[in-house]
Structure 1
Amino acid sequence: MNYEVIVTCAVTGAGDTVGKHPAIPVTPKQIADAAIEAAKAGATVAHCHVRDPETGKGSRDVNLYREVVDRIRSSGTDIIINLTAGMGGDLEIGPGEEPFKFGKATDLVGPITRLAHVEALLPEICTLDCGTLNFGDGDYTYISTPNMLRAGAKKVQELGVKPELEIFDTGHLWFAKQMLKEGLLDANPMFQLCLGIPWGAPADTTTMKAMVDNLPEGAIWAGFGIGRNQMPMLAQALLLGGHVRVGLEDNIWLDKGVHASNGSLTERACEIITRLGARPLTPAEGRKKLGLKARG
C-alpha cells in the first residue's frame, strides 16, 4: 500500500475523443485551463498533449506546447508539468496487399524530432514510450524501436528532464530495464504502467502485479487503466504500492451516462485515495519524491 500518492491528470491526449465529449480540451488555453483545474482539484502532475486548434487532432507543434506551458507557469497555480514525447511515432500500414501505401494517420519522425518541444521548453518530466505496439484493431501501429529509444533516452538525460517510462506491454518493461543497465536512465527511474489499450497489456490485477514484480529496485511507478477500468486500476495501483493517473485522455466518463471533467476525475481519485487511508501529494511534495526541481 502506498500512503503518499502522486496524482497525475492526463488532461486531453491525442485520441479520437473530440465530438464524443462536449468539452475535450483542444486549444492551448483550454489545455492549460484543464491542467490548472486538475491542480486545484488535487493533482500533483499535469500530463499534456497539444491538439491542432482547427481540427482537434494531436499535434507536435512546438508553439502550441509553448503557449500551454507559458499559460500554466504564469497562472500562479503550481503543478508539475509532464509533456508527452510520444507524438511522431504513428504508422498506418496500407490495406491488404499494399502495406507501403501508408494511411493518412501516419506521422513518423525520428526520436530527436519527437523531443523538439522538450528541448525548447524543458518541462520537469516528459514521456518515453518504451516500445512498438499495435494500437487497436486495423492497421495502426506505434513505432518506437530499440535504437530510437536509446537515442531518445540519451537526449532526455542530457537535457536534465526526468523521463516517465510508458510501459504498454511486458516487453517494454524488459527493454526499459535494459536502458537502465546501459546507463541511459538515471537512478530511481519513473515507470507508468499503461493498461487496457488494445492490444497491449490488459487492465487486470494479475497483469499489473506481474509488471510491478518485475520493476527494478528503487523504481518509482504509477499505473492506470482506460475507460471503465480507470478507477478500479487506480485503487489497484495504490494497493500494490504505486502512484496513480486519471484524466480525459484515458476516460471521458465520471459515471454511467455522465461526462467527466479533468477536475471531477481528479476529485474522485483523491476521494478514493483518502478513503483508503492515504493522501495525495502536493506538487512540492511530488518534486521532492521524484527528485525534481521546479522550472519557470
Structure 2
Amino acid sequence: MRTPRQRVYITCAVTGNLTLPSRSPHLPITPRQIAESSLAAADAGAAIVHIHVREPISGAPSMNIDYYREVVDTIRDRNEKLVINLTTGPGGRFVPSAEDPKVGGPGTTLLAPDKRVKHIALLRPDICTLDLNTMNFAGEVVINTPDNLRQMATIIRLAGAKPELELFDSGDIALMHDLIADGTLDTPPLISLVLGVKYGFQATPETVTYARNLLPPDAEFTAFGIGKSALQTVALSYLSGGHVRVGLEDSIYLKKGVLAPSNASLVEKARRIVDDLGGEIATANEARKIIGLPVR
C-alpha cells in the first residue's frame, strides 16, 4: 500500500485538443498564448507542462511542428527548469465510413508511427506522452497497436525523451508490463492514469486503488480526472500516493458553474488542495530528480 508522498509535482495540461474554444474564452490557442499560459502555470507552482498545439485561427487541433517549436523555444528561453511534456496522442483516431467501415471517414486521423513522434525527434522535449489505449472514444476508435507503440518508443528513446505512459484501462496496464518485459520501455516507468473517459477508467477511489496496485512498485504515477472529476481527482491522486494534474485540457471550471480564468488559477487551486491535505509541492528541479531527468 502506498501512502501520500510528502512532496508531489503538479502537471498542467495547458490546452489539449478536445476542449472547444467556444466553451471558454480563456483557452490558449496560438503558440504564444500556449507558451505564456505554460509560464504562468509554472509561476503558480506547476513543475511540468503538458502541451498540444492548435491552429491559431480556428483553434482546431494541429500537429504543425513550427507551432510546437515556437512554444518550446519560448518556454526554454524564459524558464529552462520547467519540464516540457509534448503530446504524441494525435494521429491515432479512426472513424469508420458509413459506406465501407474498413475505410476511414471524416474525423479519421491515423498516421504512421514515425509521423506521430516527428516533433519529438526534432525538438527533444524532456517528456512526451505515449498512449497505450485502444478503445471506443465517443463515436471514434483510438488505435495504438503494440507494434506501433514499439516503433514510437524507439524514436522517443533516441530523442532522449522520457515517455509518460497514459493508461485508460486495466488492459493498458497489462500491455505496459509486456512492453517493459520485452525491453521496449525502461524502468522505472512514468505513468498517468486517465480517469473519467466514458469507456475507460471511471473516476472513483476504487478505480485508483485497483489501478495503482497493478503498477510496478517503483512507478511514479499521477491519476487525473476529466471534466467534473478533475479537481476531485487531485485529492484522490495525492491520498493514493501519486502526483497531481490539472489544466484547461481536462476541465474549464474552477468550481461548479465558474469558468477558470486561466491555467494558473487551476494550478493554484490544486496547490491549495495538496497543501490542505498536508503535502508539499515540488519545484521543477525537485520534479526532475523524482522523475530521473537532468537537473538544471
Structure 1 residue matching 2:154: 3-state secondary structure: helix
1:91 pairs with 88, 91, 94, which one? 94
Residues 1:223 and 2:223 are matched in the alignment = yes
**Alignment-derived partner of residue 105 in structure 1:** 107
Shifted more, 265-274 versus 84-93: the winner is 84-93
- Is the Cα contact below 8 Å between 1:45 and 1:79 reproduced in 2? yes
- Matched residues in 1 for 2:169 and 2:266: separation? 25
**Alignment-derived partner of residue 288 in structure 2:** 287
- Aligned-pair CA distance for 1:74: 1.0
Query: Sequence identity, in percent?
Result: 43
Structure 2, gaps ≥5 residues long = none
**Alignment-derived partner of residue 69 in structure 2:** 66
- Aligned-pair CA distance for 1:101: 4.9
**Alignment-derived partner of residue 272 in structure 2:** 271
Structure 2 residue matching 1:112: 3-state secondary structure: helix
- Matched residues in 1 for 2:190 and 2:36: separation? 26
Q: Deviations over 1:167-209 (max 9, x none)?
A: 0111111101111111111121101000101211111111111
In structure 2, relative to structure 1, the CA distance for the partners of 1:100 and 1:184 (3 Å cut) is: closer
Shifted more, 263-272 versus 84-93: the winner is 84-93
- Matched residues in 1 for 2:39 and 2:164: separation? 21
- Matched residues in 1 for 2:195 and 2:229: separation? 9
For this pair of structures, how many residues does the alignment match? Answer: 292
Structure 2 residue matching 1:107: 3-state secondary structure: coil
Residues 1:47 and 2:61 are matched in the alignment = no
- Is the Cα contact below 8 Å between 1:5 and 1:243 reproduced in 2? yes
Structure 2 residue matching 1:74: 3-state secondary structure: helix
- Is the Cα contact below 8 Å between 2:29 and 2:53 reproduced in 1? yes
Structure 2 residue matching 1:34: 3-state secondary structure: helix
- Aligned-pair CA distance for 1:159: 2.0
- Aligned-pair CA distance for 1:21: 0.4
Residues 1:206 and 2:200 are matched in the alignment = no
Residues 1:15 and 2:15 are matched in the alignment = no
Q: Deviations over 1:255-293 (max 9, x none)?
A: 122111201100000000111111110001111111102
CA RMSD, aligned part only? 1.3
Residues 1:166 and 2:151 are matched in the alignment = no
Structure 1 residue matching 2:21: 3-state secondary structure: coil
- Is the Cα contact below 8 Å between 2:31 and 2:53 reproduced in 1? yes
Q: Deviations over 1:198-229 (max 9, x none)?
A: 21111111111111000012111111011111
- Is the Cα contact below 8 Å between 1:26 and 1:53 reproduced in 2? yes
- Matched residues in 1 for 2:242 and 2:158: separation? 27
- Is the Cα contact below 8 Å between 1:124 and 1:294 reproduced in 2? no
The one-letter code matched in structure 2 to 1:125 is I
- Aligned-pair CA distance for 1:102: 2.7
- Matched residues in 2 for 1:198 and 1:147: separation? 26
TM-score by length of 2: 0.95
1:128 pairs with 130, 135, 139, which one? 130
Shift >4 Å, 4+ stretches = none
The one-letter code matched in structure 2 to 1:55 is S
Shifted more, 20-29 versus 103-112: the winner is 103-112
Shifted more, 151-160 versus 228-237: the winner is 151-160
- Matched residues in 2 for 1:111 and 1:209: separation? 32
- Is the Cα contact below 8 Å between 2:19 and 2:248 reproduced in 1? no
- Aligned-pair CA distance for 1:131: 2.2
- Is the Cα contact below 8 Å between 1:157 and 1:184 reproduced in 2? no
**Alignment-derived partner of residue 117 in structure 1:** 119
- Is the Cα contact below 8 Å between 2:19 and 2:249 reproduced in 1? no
Q: Deviations over 1:81-113 (max 9, x none)?
A: 000011111212223x64245332111101111
- Matched residues in 1 for 2:117 and 2:103: separation? 27
